[in-house]
A and B are shown apart, each in its own frame.
Chain A
Amino acid sequence: MKKALVIVLLIVAAVPLVAAVAGLPPHGSPSNPTYTHVSAYYLEHGAEEAGAENIVTDMILNYRGFDTNGEVTVIFTSLAAVFGVLLLTGAVARKPAAPEIPVSMVVRFIARLLAPFIAIFAVYVILNGHISPGGGFQGGTVLGALYITVSIVLGRDEARRLLPRGPKPWLQAAGPLTFVGVGLLGLVLTGYYLGFPTTPALAWLRTAMIVVIEIGIGVGGAAVLASVYETMEAD
C-alpha cells in the first residue's frame, strides 16, 4: 500500500517536470535565453570591467558582491551557532576529552609528507582564483581539510598549534572583515559600498581588491571549518 502511494506520488511529481523539460529551448544551443541576455554582457565586458580574468570570479565578487558578502557572513554565523549550541550549554566543558585513537606509522608519515604540498596547493587555489578556476571558498576548504587531517592523524595538540589562541577570533572573522573593509574602501573611492573604481588607470586596484577579498574568504573559511571541527570533536 505504502509503496503504491509512493510510486503514485513520484509519478505526480515527475510528469510535470518532464513536460516542462520537454518545453525548454534545445540544450546547448548558443541562442538560448540563458546565453543571450546578461551572460553575453558579462562575457564581453567582464574581464576589462570587473578586474578578474575569470568571469565567474568577476560575477561572484564584483557584479554580485552583495550576495557573496551575505554568504560569507552566513558562514561566520554558522560558526557562531555551533559555538552557541555547544559551548554555552556547557556540553564541552563537562565531559572529559575523549582518548585519542593511535594511528599507524605509515599514515603519520604520509600525512607529514603531503601536508606542505596540500598547503601550497590551497594557497595557489586561493591566489589564482581571479585567473583560473578556484578562489577563496575552494582554497579555504582545502586548508580546512588539511587542519582536520592533521588533527586526526598527528593529534589534537599538533593541530592546535596551527590555530593559535591569540589571532584565532580574527582569523575566524576574516571573511566578513575583509569584505566589509574592501566595501568601505570602495565607499571612499567611488561613493558606493563595494564599488570598484571603473577608470582603466585603476585596473590594478580592482584586481588587488578582488585578491584581498579572496584571501580573506580563504583564511576565514579555513578557520571556520577548523574550529567547527575542533568544537564538535571536543564534544
Chain B
Amino acid sequence: MLLALWTNVDYVASVVLFCIGLYCVIAKNNLIKKFIGLNIMETSVFAFIVAMGVVEGGTHPSWEPAPGRRTPTPYPRALS
C-alpha cells in the first residue's frame, strides 16, 4: 500500500490539494475564500488529469515524433 502510494505520489499530491480546497470551501465563512477554495479544487483535478498523461522521459506531444511522447488527451480534457 505504502509503496503503491509512493509510486503514485503525484496523484497523492492532487488528493492533498483537493482536500485543502475542500477545507476552504467548508470551513471559511468569507465568500471570496470559499471561491478560492473552489479554484484550488479545480486545479487539483487538472493536476490529476495531467499527471495521468505523463510518461517517464516523454516530451510534449506537439514536438517532432519521438519514441516517448506524453499522452495528448489530458490537455483537451483540462480545457473543457
Contact = CB atoms under 8 A, between A and B. Distances in A.
Interface of B is mostly: helix
Interface string A8-46: 011001100110011110111110101100110011001
Interface string B1-18: 100110111111001001
Contacts of A22: 1, 4-5, 8
Interface in B14-48: 15, 18-19, 22-23, 26-27
Size range of the chain B interface in the assembly: 35 or more
A43 B79 CA distance: 19
B54 A13 contact: no
A162 B72 CA distance: 36
Given A9-B26, A10-B22, A21-B15, A27 B7 contact: yes
Given A10-B23, A34-B73, A43-B69, A55 B61 contact: yes
Interface string B44-60: 00000001111110101
Nearest to A67: B80
Contacts, number: 103
B76 A59 contact: yes
A165 to B, nearest CB: 32
Interface residues of A, number: 42
A28 B62 CA distance: 18
Contacts of A55: 61-62, 72
A84 B58 CA distance: 47
Contacts of B8: 21-22, 24, 26-27
B30 to A, nearest CB: 15
Closest 8 CB pairs of A and B: A54-B62, A28-B56, A39-B71, A55-B72, A21-B11, A55-B61, A22-B4, A56-B75
Interface of B: 1, 4-5, 7-12, 15, 18-19, 22-23, 26-27, 51-56, 58, 60-62, 65, 68-69, 71-76, 79-80
Given A23-B4, A56-B75, 18 more contacts: A3-B27, A17-B18, A18-B15, A21-B11, A21-B12, A21-B15, A29-B55, A30-B56, A30-B58, A34-B74, A56-B61, A56-B62, A59-B72, A67-B76, A67-B80, A71-B79, A131-B62, A133-B60
Interface of A: 2-3, 6, 9-10, 13-14, 17-18, 21-24, 26-30, 32, 34-35, 38-39, 42-43, 46-47, 53-60, 64, 67, 71, 131-133, 137
